[in-house]
Structure 1
Amino acid sequence: MILRNALLGIFLAMGVSLAMLVFLSWLAYDRSVESNNRTQSVNHTYRVRLKNKDILATVNTIETGERGYLLTKDEKYLQPYGEGRSSMKGILRSMELLVRDNPRQQKRVDSIKKEISRRITLIEFNIERTRNGYGIDTVKLSDGKNHMENIRSLCKELDNEERELLTYRSILQKEADENTNFFLLLLSAVSLAFLLVFFRLLYIELRRRITFQKTLEEKLTDLERANAELEQFAYVASHDLQEPLRKIRAFGERLKIKQSELLTDDGKTNVLKINQSAIRMQQLIDDLLMFSRTANLRERIFEEVNLNSVFRDVKDELNDLIEQKKVTIISEVLPTVQGIEFQLFQLFNNLISNAIKYSKADTPPIIEIDCQKVNGSELPNLGDIQKDNIYHRISFMDNGIGFDPIYSEKIFIIFQRLHNRTEYEGTGIGLALCRRIVTNHNGFIVAEAKPNQEGSIFHVYLPT
């Protein structure tokens, strides 16, 4: 859960950071577009002013050509006049396109076109008059001068407005450039800050994982040490403890056989109790050895195990008891799992023999074995990852004496018994051994009491 919260925090921080970076990137892009637009506006103003100067220069060229011809009557002066007239149409057309976004300037350009047209009409009149041998018409010449003054005045007004626009647009361009630089700098700073934060978070998480890894290694070392001690205990139990126990049983049997005639009835009873206690002690040692063996990590070699074969082997093992008790066992087809065969054999053996042992005296035992695939979510107190796993649920159902539901966990504790030894024999290790085996296989075992003590159900969950 801690790891999940840490990862969730990192992903949340990453999401917020990416959102902020996207927002700042959009702002920087928007400011960049704005700066580009302002630059284009300034450039547009310069182009209008240059085109305005072209109009004045072309009009002056046309007028100069007219004056030269009127004074000298030399046709060569009409060449710049003709070239000026030819280029004037293109210049005026370009100017109209440039000022189409400004209604006031459009009106001025229209007025300039009209004045130029009138001026050219008067120039053509004067040129034609001169060609025909007439003198200069001073009235027309004066009108032409007035038209020229109007053209200059209109061009000056147009240029003045463009100059004001240039000043205003230059200020906006400067502000846009400053904003663009600011947002680019802010974006770089925030990106660097987020990068440092991510490195810090990753460093903290890496250090936490290293610490966790060291702790885990220490736990594994402790577990190996405990396992070694358990193996040593198993050795002591199998040799040092069993040797005096065998002698107790041997001398008890010798006393019973050779000294039977010398013993009183009370003495014979005591010898019998000695032998029974020794047998019980031997069974307890054997069960403890089996319990300790399941904790041996070296024997946890997993392989494919067909549970149908395991079930058949257990039935063969318990065949005499099954026939004696007239037991009916009904089993579905069982799966093949990854596991340790001898441990799964012990698991099936313990659960089936328990169902037989705790059967009702007046009712033939019926044991049903059911198998289904289930989701881990039906198991309580599981982690989020385990809840998504799929398990084989193998249920052992019987019609025996059952148990009180309050003891559904206690019965799996080693040496815990719900009945007196005189009622049901046993060491109190069997179900604890079952839980150990199931845990070794990364599974779970759950005990369920049927209503009205009509039997019990043991659910074994093994990974698929």
Structure 2
Amino acid sequence: MKRIGLHKSPLFLKIIFVVSVAIIFFIGGITFKHITVLKKSSAYVSNSYEVNIELERLMSCIKDAETGQRGYLLSKDKKFLIPYQNSGSLIKKSHQRISELTSNSRTQQNNLKTLQYHINKRLNYLSKNLYLVQHEKYSEDELEYNLITGQKSMDSIRLRIEDMIITQKVLLKNRQKDYDSTMNYTPLLIYLTLIITLILITIAFVKMNRDLILLKNTIHTLTVEIEANKLSEIVGNFGSWKLDIETNTYTFSDNEYRLLGCEPQSFEASKEGFLKFIHPDDLEFVKESANNAVMNDSRVPFMYRVIRKDGEVRYFKDMGQVVSFASQNKTYIGTTRDITSEIDDKITTEERNRELESNNKELSAFNYIASHDLQEPLRKIETFISRLISKDHDNISTSGQQYIASIQKSANRMRVLIEDLLQFSRTNKAEKTFQLSNLNCLLDNAKQELAQTIEEKKAVLTSSVLPSLSIIPFQIQQLFINLIGNSLKYSKANEAPSISINYSIIVANEEEFLPDTYHEYHKITVEDNGIGFDQEYAKNIFVLFNRLHNKNEYQGTGIGLAICKKIVENHKGFIFAKGVLHEGSTFIIYLPVEQKQA
């Protein structure tokens, strides 16, 4: 199963998305706050300009009132009183506007109160002078005093307004500085917001583009896999199906229909639609097994019979399991395999096994006959010939004596042949019970068995130390007897036999005869200085009844080496022969290091 990288995991992508949105909101919040500060700074600047304008308007209204009064005093023309009469409401309105504009400034509010006092004082003196002039109840000194006092009040008003304007200019300067500072950072923030937004959009685009490419490749791969799966179902002779447990709806693959002898998607996939093909004798079993598999998520396969659309009876085997997806929906997926050919093969195999069992019984009967019925008349023939030779040998003609000698020789060969056949049969049928045995002891037993021949031929046997192995003891002993006996039989007439038995552990790929693997083997070699053989016949000498020499030259039945080959095969090993004509032969045995019971 491939592991999903951290950068590809859904959790990581969700975290990146949340972080990106948080960054955008954070920068957006900073930008919004910055623009709010900028807007407030702009409002402060506008406020300062408006306060100055209102102060100048207030001063202008006071001047208009003073000018109107002065014109009336000089000309006694009441039309000059119009500016004076209108100035009261204008001054009040302007004063109220300034109060509103400077409501956040305690200094300006204090200045405005002082200004209000001087304005009221100035307007009172203007009103008093007009009253005195209009009713002609004034003296020159009193009028002059009022004018001088009013002028002083006007100077106080002018001075106070100038203070307020200067204060407002200072505020305006500071606010202008804040405004300029804010304006300097605003493009940077906007640019930074745009850059980050573009980066995030670019990353999102690249990621979506990669995901789109990956999606296309995945869709292509899935399409290929689906087609390959359809092909594998046809080749493997099986079908697949799905059951949505939540909605109880089925889906059949195309080959599921073909297994039933129908065209793909020729009927609606459903439990009822499939059950109508089940063999009546298996219907209840299939219903019970299917319900148990779905309810208990059983993965135990069950076998049943179906009757195809064409009427042919086939054997099916079903198996499935419940799988859960991210949506928490559970689906039971299963496969249906046509095992009719397997059932037929099983039946055929059982029939052949019965035939083999019958043949084995016949072989056992043959062994019994060979060991009893055939040997009994043979023993009688040998007995009568022996008596004939001992009692009537001199009374028989020369040609008769030759015939009797031939009969005796043939009887001996027949006895050896029967014994070798029995030995080969026992090698094939013997129980393969492995025991940990010392090969040196088995070799000594083989030498003891062949002691008379070894002494007659004055043979010299040498061997290295052999290990203890898990083997079939009597078979390995028979292997040594046959190989040493073969070397003694095919020794040179004028040279004492020299037989060398050696042992080593080798690796398969180091040997010319073995497969190219790293398995270890016990290597046992039996080497002699006999008559040898041509290497082209190396494989033939292990074939049953195969002989390289005439039976009149060397005695033998051609079964001994076949027995050797069978014994080695019983031990999962290999045996090979190497020979040089007139120089000698070598038999090489390879037994696996980890020998297991067959």
How much does 1:22 deviate? 5.8
Matched, 1:287 2:269: no
**CA deviation profile, 1:373-409 (whole Å, cap 9, x unmatched):** 111224446445xx32222211111111111121211
Specify which structure has the bigger relative contact order, considering alpha-carbon pairs within 8 angstroms and separated by 6 or more residues: 1
Q: 1:149 to 1:459 in 2, by over 3 A?
A: closer
Q: For residue 500 of structure 2, what is the aligned residue in structure 1? A: 368
**2:421·2:559 contact (CA, 8 Å) conserved in 1?**
yes
Residue aligned with 2:102, SS: helix
- The one-letter code of the counterpart of 2:399 is D
How much does 1:293 deviate? 0.8
Residue aligned with 1:276, SS: helix
- The one-letter code of the counterpart of 1:400 is G
Q: CA RMSD in A?
A: 4.7
**1:370·1:396 contact (CA, 8 Å) conserved in 2?**
yes
Task: In structure 1, list runs of 5 or more residues that go unmatched.
Answer: 1-13, 76-129
Q: 1:150 to 1:398 in 2, by over 3 A?
A: closer
- Quick one: distance in 1 between partners of 2:380 and 2:7? 89
Q: 1:231 to 1:380 in 2, by over 3 A?
A: farther
Q: 1:55 to 1:226 in 2, by over 3 A?
A: farther
**CA deviation profile, 1:234-253 (whole Å, cap 9, x unmatched):** 22322333233334334444
Q: Pick from 122, 136, 139 the counterpart of residue 165 of structure 2.
A: 136
How much does 1:232 deviate? 3.6
1:268-347 matched pairs, under 5 angstroms: 268-296=401-429, 298-347=430-479
**1:42·1:169 contact (CA, 8 Å) conserved in 2?**
no
Residue aligned with 2:523, SS: strand
- Quick one: distance in 2 between partners of 1:311 and 1:149? 113
Matched, 1:264 2:246: no
- Quick one: distance in 1 between partners of 2:522 and 2:403? 51
- Quick one: distance in 2 between partners of 1:321 and 1:148? 126
- Quick one: distance in 2 between partners of 1:280 and 1:313? 25
Q: For residue 404 of structure 1, what is the aligned residue in structure 2? A: 534
Q: For residue 110 of structure 2, what is the aligned residue in structure 1? A: 73
- Quick one: distance in 2 between partners of 1:154 and 1:393? 93
**2:436·2:468 contact (CA, 8 Å) conserved in 1?**
yes
Q: For residue 571 of structure 2, what is the aligned residue in structure 1? A: 441
**CA deviation profile, 1:293-329 (whole Å, cap 9, x unmatched):** 1111x52111012111111112222222222211111
Residue aligned with 2:433, SS: coil
- Quick one: distance in 1 between partners of 2:187 and 2:524? 99
Matched, 1:426 2:426: no
- The one-letter code of the counterpart of 2:409 is Q
Q: 1:155 to 1:408 in 2, by over 3 A?
A: closer
**2:499·2:528 contact (CA, 8 Å) conserved in 1?**
yes
Matched, 1:461 2:590: yes
Judge which range, 374-383 or 189-198, deviates more. 189-198
- Quick one: distance in 1 between partners of 2:372 and 2:36? 119
**CA deviation profile, 1:267-307 (whole Å, cap 9, x unmatched):** 232222222212211110100010111111x5211101211
- Quick one: distance in 2 between partners of 1:160 and 1:463? 81
Judge which range, 243-252 or 310-319, deviates more. 243-252
**CA deviation profile, 1:48-86 (whole Å, cap 9, x unmatched):** 3233145247658988899223442299xxxxxxxxxxx
Residue aligned with 1:249, SS: helix
Q: For residue 107 of structure 1, what is the aligned residue in structure 2? A: none
Residue aligned with 2:587, SS: strand
Q: 1:147 to 1:272 in 2, by over 3 A?
A: closer
- Quick one: distance in 2 between partners of 1:399 and 1:177? 81
- Quick one: distance in 2 between partners of 1:22 and 1:243? 82
Larger Cα-atom Rg: 2
Judge which range, 328-337 or 193-202, deviates more. 193-202
Residue aligned with 1:285, SS: helix
How much does 1:177 deviate? 7.4
**1:392·1:463 contact (CA, 8 Å) conserved in 2?**
yes
- Quick one: distance in 2 between partners of 1:249 and 1:238? 16
Residue aligned with 1:353, SS: helix
Query: Which structure carries more helix by proportion?
Result: 1
**2:531·2:584 contact (CA, 8 Å) conserved in 1?**
yes
Residue aligned with 2:374, SS: helix
1:188-203 matched pairs, under 5 angstroms: none
- The one-letter code of the counterpart of 1:73 is N
Identity %: 35
Judge which range, 156-165 or 247-256, deviates more. 156-165
How much does 1:425 deviate? 0.9
Residue aligned with 1:273, SS: helix
- Quick one: distance in 2 between partners of 1:166 and 1:152? 21
Q: 1:23 to 1:147 in 2, by over 3 A?
A: closer
Matched, 1:351 2:483: yes
Residue aligned with 1:73, SS: helix
**1:38·1:172 contact (CA, 8 Å) conserved in 2?**
no
- Quick one: distance in 2 between partners of 1:163 and 1:33? 21
- Quick one: distance in 1 between partners of 2:542 and 2:432? 22
**1:35·1:173 contact (CA, 8 Å) conserved in 2?**
no
**CA deviation profile, 1:106-139 (whole Å, cap 9, x unmatched):** xxxxxxxxxxxxxxxxxxxxxxxx99x9443265
1:110-259 matched pairs, under 5 angstroms: 134-137=163-166, 140=170, 172=202, 175=205, 178-179=208-209, 182=212, 218=349, 221=353, 227-253=360-386, 255-256=388-389
**1:396·1:458 contact (CA, 8 Å) conserved in 2?**
yes
TM-score by length of 1: 0.66
- The one-letter code of the counterpart of 1:72 is Q
How much does 1:254 deviate? 5.0
Q: 1:247 to 1:179 in 2, by over 3 A?
A: same
Task: In structure 2, list runs of 5 or more residues that go unmatched.
Answer: 48-99, 113-158, 239-336, 594-598
- Quick one: distance in 2 between partners of 1:337 and 1:166? 78
Judge which range, 257-266 or 452-461, deviates more. 257-266
**1:371·1:395 contact (CA, 8 Å) conserved in 2?**
yes
- The one-letter code of the counterpart of 2:165 is I
**1:310·1:345 contact (CA, 8 Å) conserved in 2?**
yes
How much does 1:424 deviate? 1.2
Residue aligned with 1:294, SS: helix
Matched, 1:42 2:175: no
**CA deviation profile, 1:397-443 (whole Å, cap 9, x unmatched):** 11111111212111111111121122111111111111111111111
- The one-letter code of the counterpart of 2:34 is N
- The one-letter code of the counterpart of 1:239 is H
Q: 1:354 to 1:150 in 2, by over 3 A?
A: closer
TM-score by length of 2: 0.53
